[in-house]
Structure 1
Amino acid sequence: SSQKSRPIANYHLCHWGDHFLNITNPHHDEEVQVQKEQEVKQYIEEVKKELQETKNNPIELLNFFDAIERLGLAYHFEQEIEDALKQIYESYEGQCAKDDLYHVSTRFRILRQHGFFVPCGNAWSLGTVILIMQLMWIPGDVFNKFKEENGSFKESITKDVLGLLSLYEASHVRVHDDKILDEALAFSTTRLNAMVSQLSSPLADQVAHALHQPLHKGMPRVESRHYITVYEMDPSHNKTLLKFAKLDFNLLQALHQKELKDLKKWWKGLHLNASYTRDRLTEAYFWILGAYYEPKYSLARKVFGKIFKATSLLDDTYDAYGTIEELELLTETFQRPWNKSYVDELPEHVKWSYHANVEACEEAEEDLAKEGRSFCVNYTREQVKALCLAFLQEAKWCHEKYVPTYDEYMKIALVTSPYPHGIIASFLGMGEIATKEVFEWASQIPIPKAVKAASTILRLVDDIGGHKFEQKRNHVASAVQCLMEKHGMSEDEANEKLREEVEDAWKDINEAMLQPHVISKPLLTRILNLARSAEVIYKDGTDGYTEVNQTLKEKTASVLVHPITM
Structure 2
Amino acid sequence: MLLSAAPTTTSEKLKLIDVVERLGIGYHFEEEIEEQLRQIYHHGNHHPNNVDDDDLFTVALHFRLLRQHGYNVPSDVFKRFQNEEEEGTFKEELGSDVEGMMGLYEAAHLHMHGETILDQAIEFATTRLTKYYEQLQKQLARRVAHVLKRPLRKGVERHEQLFFISVYEQMEGDHDAILLKLAKLSWNSLQHSYQQELRSITQWDTSMKDLPEYMKLLYGAIIDVLDEVDAITTREGRPYCLDYGKQAEKNQMRAYLAEARWFAEGKVPTIEEYRRVGVYSCTYPLLAYSALAGMGDKAPKEAFDWLLADPKILVALSDHCRLMDDIVSHEFEQKRGHVSSSVECYMKQHDVSRVEAVDALNRTVEDDWKVINEECLDINRPDFVSKEAISMLVGLVRVMEVIYKDFDGYTFSNTTTMDMMNALLVTPIEVVAP
Matched, 1:144 2:79: yes
Report the Cα offset of residue 157 of structure 1.
0.4
Report the Cα offset of residue 159 of structure 1.
1.8
Identify the match of residue 150 of structure 2 among 188, 205, 213.
213
Report the Cα offset of residue 352 of structure 1.
4.3
Identify the match of residue 67 of structure 2 among 92, 102, 112.
112
8 A contact 1:157–1:164 mirrored in 2:
yes
| Structure 1, gaps ≥5 residues long | 1-47, 120-139, 275-347
Query: SS at the partner of 1:169?
Result: helix
Matched, 1:188 2:188: no
Match for 1:459: what amino acid?
R
Label 1:413 to 1:174 Cα distance change in 2 as closer, same or farther (>3 A): same
Aligned positions, number: 422
Match for 1:489: what amino acid?
V
Identify the match of residue 179 of structure 1 among 104, 116, 127.
116
Range with bigger deviation, 172-181 or 193-202? 193-202
Label 1:243 to 1:227 Cα distance change in 2 as closer, same or farther (>3 A): same
8 A contact 1:102–1:164 mirrored in 2:
yes
Report the Cα offset of residue 96 of structure 1.
2.7
1:255 maps to what in 2? 193
State how 1:393-472 maps to structure 2 within 5 Å. 393-444=258-309, 447-472=310-335
Matched, 1:535 2:398: no
Label 1:488 to 1:116 Cα distance change in 2 as closer, same or farther (>3 A): same
Report the Cα offset of residue 548 of structure 1.
3.0
- RMSD (Å) for aligned C-alpha atoms: 1.5
- Percent identity of equivalent pairs: 42
Report the Cα offset of residue 374 of structure 1.
2.3
1:484-537: CA deviations, max 9, x gaps?
A: 122211111111111111101101111111112222211111111111011111
Aligned mates of 1:354, 1:551 — CA distance in 2: 31
Query: SS at the partner of 1:471?
Result: helix
Report the Cα offset of residue 549 of structure 1.
4.6
| TM-score computed with the length of structure 2 as normaliser | 0.94
8 A contact 1:215–1:223 mirrored in 2:
yes
Q: What stretches of structure 1 move > 4 A for 4+ residues in a row? A: none
| Structure 2, gaps ≥5 residues long | none
Report the Cα offset of residue 272 of structure 1.
5.9
1:312-353: CA deviations, max 9, x gaps?
A: xxxxxxxxxxxxxxxxxxxxxxxxxxxxxxxxxxxx625741
1:357 maps to what in 2? 222
1:266 maps to what in 2? 204
2:423 maps to what in 1? 558
Match for 1:239: what amino acid?
A
Query: SS at the partner of 1:271?
Result: helix
1:435-478: CA deviations, max 9, x gaps?
A: 1111111012xx21000111011100000111121011110000
Matched, 1:157 2:109: no
Matched, 1:80 2:15: no
Query: SS at the partner of 1:565?
Result: coil
Report the Cα offset of residue 144 of structure 1.
1.1
8 A contact 2:9–2:52 mirrored in 1:
no
8 A contact 2:90–2:124 mirrored in 1:
yes
1:19-76: CA deviations, max 9, x gaps?
A: xxxxxxxxxxxxxxxxxxxxxxxxxxxxx3x422235322221111110011111111
1:226 maps to what in 2? 163
Report the Cα offset of residue 426 of structure 1.
0.9
1:522 maps to what in 2? 388
1:166 maps to what in 2? 103
8 A contact 1:457–1:535 mirrored in 2:
no
State how 1:434-513 maps to structure 2 within 5 Å. 434-444=299-309, 447-513=310-376
8 A contact 2:23–2:161 mirrored in 1:
yes
8 A contact 2:96–2:128 mirrored in 1:
no
8 A contact 2:11–2:62 mirrored in 1:
no
Report the Cα offset of residue 97 of structure 1.
6.7
8 A contact 1:96–1:142 mirrored in 2:
no
8 A contact 1:273–1:352 mirrored in 2:
no
The structure with the larger Rg is 1
Label 1:273 to 1:105 Cα distance change in 2 as closer, same or farther (>3 A): same
Query: SS at the partner of 1:407?
Result: helix
Range with bigger deviation, 483-492 or 63-72? 483-492
State how 1:230-241 maps to structure 2 within 5 Å. 230-235=167-172, 236-241=174-179
Match for 1:432: what amino acid?
D
Report the Cα offset of residue 482 of structure 1.
0.5
Aligned mates of 1:189, 1:106 — CA distance in 2: 17
2:137 maps to what in 1? 200
Matched, 1:58 2:10: yes
Aligned mates of 2:235, 2:263 — CA distance in 1: 44
Query: SS at the partner of 1:539?
Result: coil
Range with bigger deviation, 458-467 or 95-104? 95-104
